[in-house]
Amino acid sequence: MDNEQRLIRCFQAVFPELTETEVARASVSRLAAWDSVATVTLAASVEEEFGIQFEADEIEKMNSFPSFLKYVATRSGA
């Protein structure tokens, strides 16, 4: 499973109603369910899935699926 699929799995665990296509477009501004608790939960599940750890200021910047994907790609060297 590539990074994108693994990240989609994390997003769908937090937002089970989203399809893969919707996950790819998900952002704080487009998704009402994406609140501060969802951000923390997403960050924790991504940390667990990829074995990485966000800095506090980095989590605040994770406001869309692409931003998470870019971060994961940078940290995992993919």
Contact between 22 and other proteins per CB under 8 A: no
Contact between 75 and other proteins per CB under 8 A: no
Report the C-alpha dihedral over residues 42, 35, 33, 3, rounded to 10 degrees.
-20
Which of 48, 58, 61, 74 touches other proteins by CB under 8 A?
48
Contact between 13 and other proteins per CB under 8 A: yes
Residue 41 corresponds to which tokens in the numbers above? Answer: 């939960």
Handedness of CA 12, 36, 75, 44 (dihedral sign): negative
- Candidate ranges 21-29, 41-49, 67-75; the one touching other proteins (CB under 8 A): 41-49
Residues that bind other proteins (CB under 8 A): 9-10, 13-14, 16, 37, 40-41, 44-45, 48-49, 53, 56, 59
